[in-house]
Amino acid sequence: MTDIYDFSARDISGRDVSLSAYRGKALLIVNTASKCGFTPQYEGLQALYRDLGARGLVVLGFPCNQFGGQEPGDAAEIASFCKLTYDVAFPMFAKIDVNGPEASPLFVWLKREAPGVLGSKDVKWNFTKFLVDRTGHVVERYAPTTKPEAIREAIEALL
């Protein structure tokens, strides 16, 4: 696989979505969780999507329960939480693993394209962010501690 458009993922409603649907867009791909200390970042992610979506940004949320069991809900609970608590309007996907033998092929590829600190591959925690340019190539990986607003300038440079 050479770019992100070769992948597909199941959305939070259970439909398969080809990421080629986002061709020509800048993407911010985030593994999320509803019961994490970083969960308030949903607000910043939604603000980026609201403010920059018309210019070509799409935020893609991938719930993950691998870190401290912080995403225990099913798809309906996750979708409801995101909508009611943070008014999330960006695309959310089905719960996935980002590390280990059951890791989503998308995240295997993202981690290979943008290793972490000192070349580490594994995602370390919820709200790790991958920025993908309009041609489908990973530009940068951001730590969970990086707030969405801190990425705004890098995103705008891609738009």
The CATH-assigned architecture of domain 25-158 is 3-Layer(aba) Sandwich (3.40)
Q: Domain-by-domain residue ranges, the chain?
A: 25-158
Angle at 153 between CA 146 and CA 33, to 5 degrees: 30
Segment 71-91 mean pLDDT: 95
Position 117 scores a pLDDT of 78
Q: Mind listing the pLDDT tens digit for each residue in 19-75? A: 999 999 999 999 999 999 999 999 999 999 999 999 999 999 999 999 999 999 999
The packing angle between helices 75-86 and 41-52, to 10°, is 70
Checking if the pLDDT of 1 tops 80, the result is no
Average per-residue pLDDT in the chain?
95
> If pLDDT is split at 50, 70 and 90, which confidence band does 120 have?
confident
- Give me the active site residues, please: 36
